[in-house]
Amino acid sequence: METSITIPQHQSYSSSPSLSDDRLFRDNSDTIFSMTPDDGEPDDLPDRTEEATEFYAKYTAKEILGKGASSVVRLCVEKSTGREFAVKVIDVGGDHSGPEESKEAYEAAMKEIQALRALAGQPNIIELHDVFRSPAFIFLVFELCRKGELFDYLNNVVTVSEKRTRIIMGQLLVAVQFIHSRNVIHRDLKPENILLDDQLNIKVTDFGFAAMIPEGLQGDCLFDLCGTPGYLAPEVLKVSMYDGQRPYGKAVDLWACGVIMYTLLAGYPPFWHRKQMVMLRQIMEGKFDFSAPEWNDVTEVSKDLIRKLLTVDPDSRLTADAALQHEFFQIKTHLDLLVTPRTRLRRSFLTVQAAVRIRRLHLTPQPISPKQFQRDPYKIRVVRKIVDIGAFRIYGHWVHKGEEDNRADLFQNSIKLEMKNIQRKLLT
Binding residues: 88
Q: DSSP letter string over 85-150?
A: EEEEEEE-SSSSS-HHHHHHHHHHHHHHHHHHHHTTT-TTB--EEEEEE-SSEEEEEEE--TT-BH
- Of 202, 252, 204, the C-alpha closest to 227 is 252
Asked if 48 and 56 count as a contact pair (C-beta separation under 8 A), the reply is: yes
Beta strand spans in 276-377 (E) = none
Asked if 262 and 272 count as a contact pair (C-beta separation under 8 A), the reply is: no
List binding-site positions for ATP.
Answer: 88
CA distance 302 to 321: 17
Neighbouring C-beta atoms of residue 380, cutoff 10 Å: 15
Clarify whether 188 is annotated catalytic. Answer: yes
Selecting among 27, 30, 38, 188, the annotated active-site residue is 188
CA distance 298 to 270: 15
- Of 136, 115, 97, the C-alpha closest to 17 is 97
CA distance 244 to 324: 33
Which residues neighbour 287 within 8 Å (Cβ) at sequence distance 6 or greater? 271, 281
Q: What separation in angstroms does the CA of 68 have from each of 32, 64, 124, 130, 141?
A: 10, 11, 24, 20, 16
Beta strand spans in 176-311 (E) = 184-185, 194-196, 202-204, 211-212, 226-227
Q: DSSP letter string over 10-60?
A: TS-EESSPPP--SSTT-GGGTTTT-----TTS---SPPSSTTTHHHHHHEE
Give the residue numbers annotated as catalytic, written as ranges: 188
